[in-house]
Amino acid sequence: MSKHHLDYLEQLEAESIFIFREIAAQFEKPALLFSGGKDSITLVHLARKAFAPGKIPFPLVHIDTGHNFPEALAFRDQLAAEVNANLVVRKVEDTIRERKLTEQKGKFASRNWLQTYTLLDTIEEFGFDACIGGARRDEEKARAKERIFSVRDEFGQWNPKLQRPELWNLYNGRIHKGENVRVFPISNWTELDIWNYIRKEKIELPSIYFAHDREVLVHEGQLIAISEFIQIEDTDTVVNKTVRYRTVGDMTCTAAVESSASTLDDVINEITAARISERGETRIDDRVTEAAMEDRKKNGYF
């Protein structure tokens, strides 16, 4: 093999950096939507590389549902400081109060639906014309058909039938006033690619991605972290287990998996052997209906 050869991770990285630079060049006010999870941490890492030695030319925006893992929030602040990025935090709590929204009730009441309101308000507040997200096409069927540059109307809605054809690596980011574009620079990465890249680049992650002891509630086979955000009843089974997280979302809708994987190598071995996708295993919100994601995307969710 010639020395002028990129392996698959280097190819994916080169493509993602290219996309980041297109975003910076094509848009007036981009923003990186930062969730605190490994995918958005990888995005920050790629953005740093794309604009080095300069700083990332757009803010990190976190839509805070108020249901986050404290470890993820601490990590967010530390990372933003380390890369010297402008961090914008907008709270779903405030949107609920200001807009008099009705919160979901029930055992695992989630604010996942409501964060769309906060996101759209934030986009309007700052006039963001491009929002960069860490979605991957391997995550879910509806995502498999989404473009890397995905145009949303002024309601933030995605129309799968009216997507622009995306040819070669020509990304058309031209939009009308009021529209914005969601851009997904790691569309072509899989969960395993992300983990392998994190290992290769020695990217730091919040501790909850690795095995730790935690009090969890066992609900329909899933392990939900005990927190003030969920209702616990007398009949519930609460146990202490060694767990880790495959995805980091809200404490109410992200389940832990039993695991003793305490290093990156352990985690990668576990994922390679795993027979369940990360969304299927740990996202309670996707279990509701087959078309759950398609519906949420159409409504302005990522």
Partner 1 sequence: MDLLRFITAGSVDDGKSTLIGRLLYDSKNILVDQLEALEKQTKNKDAGPIDLALLTDGLRAEREQGITIDVAYRYFSTPKRKFIIADAPGHVQYTRNMITGASNANLIIILVDARQGVVEQTRRHSIIASLLKIPHVVVAVNKMDLVEYSQDIYNNILIDYAEVARQLGLKDVTYIPISALNGDNIVDKSVSIPWYDGKPLLEMLEEVETDQDINLEDPRFQVQLVIRPQTSDLHDYRGYAGKVISGIYRKGDKVAVLPSGIETEISKLEVSGVEAEEVFAPQSVTIHLKDDIDISRGDSIVSVNNQPRVANELDVVLCWLDEKPLQPGNKYYLQHNSRLVRAVVRNVEYKLDVNTLQQLPVDSGVKLNEVVKATIKVASPLVYDPYSSIQGTGSAILIDETSNNTVAALLLQ
Could you list the residues that contact partner 1 (CB under 8 A)? 1-2, 4-8, 10-15, 17-18, 21-22, 24-25, 48-55, 137-138, 141-142, 144-145, 151, 160-161, 163-170, 172, 174-176, 187-188, 190, 192-193, 274-277, 280-281, 290-291, 294
3 state SS for the chain: CCCCCCCHHHHHHHHHHHHHHHHHHHCCCEEEECCCCHHHHHHHHHHHHHHCCCCCCCCEEEEECCCCCHHHHHHHHHHHHHCCCCEEEEEHHHHHHHHCCCCCCCCCCCCCCCHHHHHHHHHHHHCCCEEECCCCCCCCHHHHHCCCEEEECCCCCCCHHHCCCCCCCCCCCCCCCCCEEEECCCCCCCHHHHHHHHHHHCCCCCHHHCCEEEEEEEECCEEEECCCCCCCCCCCEEEEEEEECCCCCCCCCEEEEECCCCCHHHHHHHHHHCCCCHHHHHEHHHHCCCCHHHHHHHCCCC
Picking from 90, 91, 109, 92, the residue whose alpha carbon sits closest to that of residue 101 is: 92
> Shortest approach of partner 1 to residue 54 CB, angstroms?
4
Q: Which is nearer to partner 1, 127 or 160 (CB)?
A: 160
Q: Which is nearer to partner 1, 192 or 239 (CB)?
A: 192
> Shortest approach of partner 1 to residue 53 CB, angstroms?
5
Q: Which is nearer to partner 1, 102 or 273 (CB)?
A: 273
> Shortest approach of partner 1 to residue 83 CB, angstroms?
12
Q: Which is nearer to partner 1, 144 or 239 (CB)?
A: 144
Picking from 269, 271, 243, the residue whose alpha carbon sits closest to that of residue 257 is: 243
Dihedral sign for Cα atoms in the order 196, 197, 201, 204 = negative
Q: Which is nearer to partner 1, 28 or 170 (CB)?
A: 170
Q: Which is nearer to partner 1, 109 or 274 (CB)?
A: 274
Picking from 169, 146, 141, the residue whose alpha carbon sits closest to that of residue 157 is: 146
> Shortest approach of partner 1 to residue 218 CB, angstroms?
18
> Shortest approach of partner 1 to residue 81 CB, angstroms?
17
Q: Which is nearer to partner 1, 117 or 171 (CB)?
A: 171
> Shortest approach of partner 1 to residue 143 CB, angstroms?
9
> Shortest approach of partner 1 to residue 161 CB, angstroms?
7
Q: Which is nearer to partner 1, 3 or 105 (CB)?
A: 3
